[in-house]
Amino acid sequence: MKISAIVTLKKDVLDPQGKVVSQTLRNMGYDNIINVRQGKYFEIELNEINKEKAKKKVEEICKNLLTNIVIEDYTINLK
Amino acid sequence: MKISAIVTLKKDVLDPQGKVVSQTLRNMGYDNIINVRQGKYFEIELNEINKEKAKKKVEEICKNLLTNIVIEDYTINLK
């Protein structure tokens, strides 16, 4: 089963990468860009058929490895 | 309007970052991990109400700036 996890900086945390992308787009002539925020995307393939169990496992993985819970949030999507 | 774009390496392109995450998870005791692939996530806020126009704009942005179309794919989601 494939599950995707998206890790983003929390709303109040400054995102310099996103700022650079946003500024670059404005310089390229895209004048209706309000804001860009960047994050990480993980596609995790698990040997697990049970959806709930797989989701729980990925949630654990997000907390233990993929996310710095002080400054980041994560969202999990079943595929 | 907020639109998200996910940029991932194409299926046949080696993903060393994903490999490291996958190996680390196995070392941590998660033995049912088959594979992990990593990508980039962008949340783009546009000053545009029309969904189709916004989607088209983000598609253009993906092609022109965010994606290396030789080795990467992108997917766009309206929020």
Assess contact for B44 and A33: CB atoms under 8 A. Answer: yes
CATH 3.30.830.10 for domain A2-78: no
Give the H or E element holding residue B24. helix B16-27
Residues B34-72 have pLDDT tens digits of 999 999 999 999 999 999 999 999 999 999 999 999 999
| pTM across the whole model | 0.93
**Closest alpha carbon within chain A to B32:** A47
A17 to chain B, any CB pair closer than 8 A? The answer is: no
Integer angstrom CA distances of residue A48 from A13, A61, B50: 35, 14, 41
Q: In this predicted complex, what is the ipTM? A: 0.92
Cα–Cα–Cα angle for B2, A37, B47, nearest 5°?
35
Task: Give chain B positions within 8 Å (CB) of A39.
Answer: 40-43
Domain ranges of chain B: 2-78
For B42, nearest residue in chain A (alpha carbons):
A38
- Which among B38, B47, B65 is the nearest to A24, CB-wise? B65
Compute the nearest-CA separation of A62 from chain B (Å): 11
